[in-house]
Amino acid sequence: MERFTIDHDGVTIAVSRGGRGQPLVLCPGLSSTQADLDELSTLLRRDHDVVTFDFRGHGLASAADDYTFEAFFSDLSAVLARVDLPAPPVLVGYSLGADLAVRYAAEHPGSVDRLVLVDGANPIPEPFLTEADLPAFRAMWTVMAAANEPRRGTKRQVLLTGPEILALNVEIDEYRARILGLYQEIDRPIDLIMATSMAGDGDDELVVRANRNWRAGVERLTRARPDVSVSWLAADHLLVFSHAREIARLVASPAPTA
């Protein structure tokens, strides 16, 4: 394994590289780190030259003043610009990382060989966060940020506050409202790996509505881009941790198009 850092925009991004084969860049999601994705990256290294990294405020990367969507996109862009790869990579993005991957591929034609999007970058027809839901999500992410406190100073740390997590998710909702147009700009193979119960298995109205909206977004995408392949895993949004083997297998052997 090779470990190094990339300095840009006043932050230091921690990068790891290892394995052999076709280049692959694994882009984590919000509140996930290289250490969290260790099982998946280890499996992917069997067949790929894998680059992983920590976003600002995550893991071994430094803290930042800016945790906007644009700032995280700049982290991904810096990694892809400065890591010397012999060929365009498979770009695998999880959650927020999937959204960033779609934008990068749309804005940099020919820069990636293929996109694998894990439970993110979904052109959902309705916002994930409604005005009525904001208090509940504000409370949830405040609790989540507090739960991250014991991990400070470790390779699994997440430094964002509850309000910063909430603000970023509002941005992601706005981005997904127009992401379908970005998909139309991409001429590379696209594979989706999606959770059947993204919001969990509960039967309360919010969970049911979120899961229905998630599936509707995928259906909307495949109507616009019938060449996109879709695999559904019986899991919630944490599938990248609970179903690493299945995800690695699907990266190696994509599902047929929908």
Average pLDDT, integer, range 219-225: 97
For residue range 164-194, list pLDDT tens digits in order: 999 999 999 999 999 999 999 999 999 999 9
Are 79 and 50 spatial neighbours (Cβ–Cβ below 8 Å)? no
Question: What's the whole-model pTM score?
Answer: 0.97
Per residue in 59-102, pLDDT (tens digit) is 999 999 999 999 999 999 999 999 999 999 999 999 999 999 99
Contact 112, 91 (CB under 8 A): yes
Q: Are 26 and 35 in contact (CB under 8 A)?
A: no
Domains, the chain, with CATH or none? 2-125+179-252 (3.40.50.1820)
Q: How confident is the model at residue 254 (pLDDT cuts 50, 70, 90)?
A: confident
- CA 124 remoteness from chain centre: 16
| Region label for 209, one of left (φ > 0), alpha (ψ between -120 and 50) or beta (otherwise) | alpha
Quote the longest CA-to-CA distance of the chain: 49
Task: Determine the pLDDT at residue 256.
Answer: 72
DSSP bridge pairs for 193:
118, 231
The yes-or-no verdict on residue 40 having pLDDT over 70 is yes
- Mean of pLDDT values over 209-234: 97
Q: Residues 27-34: what's their mean pLDDT?
A: 97
Listed residue (254, 184, 191) closest to 224, CA to CA: 184
- The reported pLDDT for the residue numbered 236 is 98
Calculate what percentage of the chain has a pLDDT beyond 70.
100
**pLDDT tens digits, one per residue of 89-138:** 999 999 999 999 999 999 999 999 999 999 999 999 999 998 888 898 89
For the chain, the average pLDDT equals 96
